[in-house]
Chain A
Amino acid sequence: MENLNLILPEIFISLSIMFLLILGVFKKDSSKITVNLSLFAILITTIITINETFSVNRETIFNGSIVIDQMSSLMKIITLIGGFLVLVISSTYLKTFKLYNIEYPILILSSILGMMVMISSNDLIVFYMGLELQSLALYVLATYNRDQLKSSEAGLKYFVLSALSSGLLLYGCSLVYGFSGSTNFDIISNQLNSNEYVLTFGIVFILVGLAFKISAVPFHMWAPDVYEGSPTTVTLFFTIVPKIAALTVFIRFLYVPFLNLIDQWQMIIIFLSISSMIFGAVAAIGQTNIKRLIAYSSISHIGYTLAGLATATNEGIQSSIIYISIYVVMNLALFSCLLMLRRKDQYYEDIDDLSGLSKNHPLLSLCLLLILFSLAGIPPLAGFFAKFYVFKAVLEQSMYFLAIVGLLSTVVAAFYYLRIIKIIYFDKEKDKYDTDHSLWLKFSLTVSTILILFYFIFPSPLIDVVSRINII
């Protein structure tokens, strides 16, 4: 008998989804209760995850197709907390656009379930199932504001491109299966050796598919449009939660089945990393819409995360995970600010709408200032440490070129973050925004900003947790 306790979180969340679906169908006006119950379900799942899996070092179940280890439990917890916060701060926005329906929490729950499966997957088929589950939920979420043309366009675009990338991914998986004779990562890892020429194609296809999912350059084209078109709360979800799952899968693919083929993929990752860092920084300069700008900035942040992965060391993996954790907090804070730009049921998302914000909303501007400097990687804010750990790992492997290019592109990136700060602090003020925000929104902004600002005082806890992750 398998130890089902290990996948108790997944089981619990699937049962909740089914229950909520039935509840939503049979009970009228149940959107509020669905949202609350979903939050509750996520909370319980988080507690179960911490309880059941956090102390597990590494165990596999179902013939090794699902793996529970330190990385999977940490990433699941981050995913769940991210999902919880997204859901909890969305309500005002959704009500404004009359989107406060039962589907929204259920879709978010399903995509979280998909991600949890992805994170734990140790098998090509399980991985693909999780991926598709989360993607399908995300397609619908992107079009969620269906009365708006842009939202429908975003969803369609995301669907077409993502389906294409899934196709590539699947093709790569089939090639790998053809060469190794198994779909299990551990077995593949034993079977593969780098002499087989066609195998490289398989790896490349898989990497391309994964690069699509995390929107690394040159497979980033969908990101700006989708981020701009989707409802803001969904964009928030897009920028943080799926990235965590995709990164975990990236790590697992590179370091479990393909570790022996490091010569084949290391250059690819370095290329993806460098091009994302540079392109994300340069392309963001000309943007006028904050959500588009965030899309480009998230591309460049993914570049830094990949830089850690390119090192092929445990330190590198750990630094990437630290990076993505800090990035999640920063993005959450940034979007909380964005959701506060509301004036009489209208949300503002152009950079010019921030003009002179510091006169009327000094506290909000101060938060934005800290968040933006942190995103730019200026010490002593958390964003600096994220970059610091990554480059520490990169330099350990003497990859000077990667480190120098990465740090130089932070200077370019600093320009557009400074531009927003300039608009907030140096420009003429506009009308006041509403200040009656929901408590949760204020809470998430306060907590995330405090984390960003004071991370430098206690950097150790995060490092301690992450340093238990040893994949290689």
Chain B
Amino acid sequence: MNFPILSSLILLPIVGALFLFFTKDKEGNNLTAKYVALFTTIVNFLISIYLWIAFEQSTSSFQFIEDRIWIEGFINYKVGIDGISILFIILTTFITPLCVISVNNSVKNRLRDFLIAILIMESFMIGVFCALDLVVFYLFFEAGLIPMFLIIGIWGGTRRVYSAFKFFLYTLLGSVLMLVAIISIYWITGTTDVVKLYEIGIDVKYQNLLWLAFFSSFAVKTPMWPVHTWLPDAHVEAPTAGSVLLAAILLKMAGYGFIRFSLGLFPVASETFTPLVYVLSVIAIIFTSLIALMQEDMKKLIAYSSVAHMGFVTLGIFTLQQQGIEGSIIQMISHGLVSAALFLTVGVVYDRMHSRLISTYGGLVSVIPKYSILFMIFALASLGLPGTSGFIGEFLILMGAFKDNFLVAVIASLGVILGAAYMLWLYKRVVFGKLINEDLKKIVDLNRSEYFVLSCLAAPILFYGFYPDPLINTIEVSVTDLISMHETNLASK
């Protein structure tokens, strides 16, 4: 047995949180707490980078596996990673320290408690991406609700209570059906171990219902149309760091779940329900893009754009093509970076002006040029300009979609145009134009920490836009094997 590196990834943030719990909570800018949190998250990031280096790309089997008996004869604590999950883990460990740095301005009171919540959240999110047992996965998946509920509810905006409740109850409602499905899988097959389940497969006659139960959970979390309505509320009311975690990582849990569980465990049902997912994804892309066009509130606009982008992701996953799935994974990573960055950019001006309304702004380019440049990079990445990571993802997804279903691909491509429309229009209204609002003249440009955080996000967006090979190499074998396994499963049944 090697060193339990994945468990230490999961546990380290909790240790940090415990440490914070025993430090004294000072009012105002609690530097000790920040440094502790920052240190923990950066160490975690370094561990995950080491993980990526040590990761063997040429195989699709799970690596760094830890398998311990947890409940005798029933559940094992089993974690492990393959090419798909490692990217999400790195995304998580990369985004969290940035959240901690950016926490400065958005959280005024109880900073220590906020950092504890973020750290605990990080550990649950890593847990979701490592879990190789359905029950362990469910545990992490659901446990994340608690800190997120508190983040939105305690540190949120004016309608935070409504949003926190909506977020919690929506996701819980979706997930309980998944729990029924997980227990049913245990009784049907005798195990909840994902690796074993991949081998033995699940009887076709059960697959449809089980697939729907999992779908209900993931669809809410993704979120897909028409159960996306919690997302704009949650995003708008959550503090900046909360929105970033929510958009960058929490939504990806569902996409990851679709790939790992829906495709992997229920190949026949996935095939059956592909039209359903197509229809919902296309509606999400077109409909929420149109809604995004009409938003007055910047955070809401980005929230709706997230729904549209996640529509691309679900579309790509269920093309069941190599390009589609790879595109979806890259789109998720890219969206994780871009949406985090966009929420942070909105957070920057919100901290200064205390308004998220687009109409408050205009002409920012003449007062805060650095900010405007970075905002431009992120806006362009969001609409999928070639040279940014957003392009790679969308392009691969559409390629996969054209292979599978021409009509769907054509409609989805229209979504790309709409995406460009709302993003550019947002950018035009906020950054360009005349500087009318007198208050804006006193606005100051990015401070050091904001500049650092946003540059950290811009670098990988541009880098992987030009050179996506490291990402694709990591996931390629895993995706190929997933698809071949899917096809053999289909053929055998």
Contacts and interface: CB of A to CB of B under 8 A. Distances in A.
B440 interface: no
A323 to B, nearest CB: 15
Given A414-B172, A418-B165, A425-B154, A396 B187 contact: yes
Interface in A396-449: 396, 398, 400, 403-404, 407-408, 410-411, 414-415, 418, 421-422, 425-426
A411 B172 contact: yes
Given A408-B173, A411-B169, A456-B139, A422 B71 contact: no
Interface string B139-179: 10011011001100110000011001100110011001101
A43 interface: no
A395 B187 contact: yes
B294 interface: no
Report whether over half of chain A's contact residues are helix, strand or loop; otherwise say mixed.
helix
A391 interface: yes
Interface stretch (A194-202, A303-311, A372-380): A372-380
Interface in B113-153: 113, 135, 138-139, 142-143, 145-146, 149-150, 153
A398 B72 CA distance: 23
B153 A425 contact: yes
B473 interface: no
Which of B160, B168, B176, B187 is packed against the most chain A CB atoms within 10 Å?
B176
A369 to B, nearest CB: 8
B71 A404 contact: no
A398 B188 CA distance: 10
A414 B164 CA distance: 13
A459 interface: yes
A15 interface: no
Interface in A349-399: 362, 369, 373, 378-380, 384, 388, 391-392, 395-396, 398
A395 B176 CA distance: 13
Report whether over half of chain B's contact residues are helix, strand or loop; otherwise say mixed.
helix
A404 B187 contact: no
Given A425-B154, A459-B71, A379 B143 contact: yes
A459 B177 CA distance: 23
Given A378-B143, A411-B169, A426 B161 contact: yes
Contact of A395 (B113, B161, B169, B180): B180
B138 A379 contact: yes
Contact of B169 (A369, A415, A456): A415
Interface residues of A, number: 32
A415 B180 contact: no
A460 B180 contact: no
A463 interface: yes
Contacts, number: 81
Contacts of A411: 169, 172-173, 176
A395 B184 CA distance: 6
Which of B72, B168, B172 is packed against the most chain A CB atoms within 10 Å?
B172
Interface in B427-464: none
Which of B25, B138, B180 is packed against the most chain A CB atoms within 10 Å?
B180
A459 B180 contact: no
Nearest to B184: A395
A205 B149 CA distance: 46
Given A415-B169, A422-B164, A460-B72, A378 B146 contact: yes
B183 interface: yes
B183 A392 contact: yes
Contacts of B55: none
A422 B25 CA distance: 21
21 contacts: A378-B146, A384-B142, A392-B186, A395-B183, A395-B184, A395-B187, A400-B184, A407-B179, A407-B180, A414-B169, A414-B172, A415-B165, A415-B169, A418-B149, A418-B165, A418-B169, A422-B165, A426-B154, A459-B70, A459-B71, A464-B72
Given A378-B172, A398-B187, A422-B164, 15 more contacts: A384-B142, A388-B135, A391-B183, A392-B183, A403-B180, A407-B180, A411-B176, A414-B169, A415-B169, A418-B169, A421-B149, A426-B161, A456-B139, A460-B71, A460-B72
Interface of B: 25, 70-72, 113, 135, 138-139, 142-143, 145-146, 149-150, 153-154, 160-161, 164-165, 168-169, 172-173, 176-177, 179-180, 183-184, 186-187
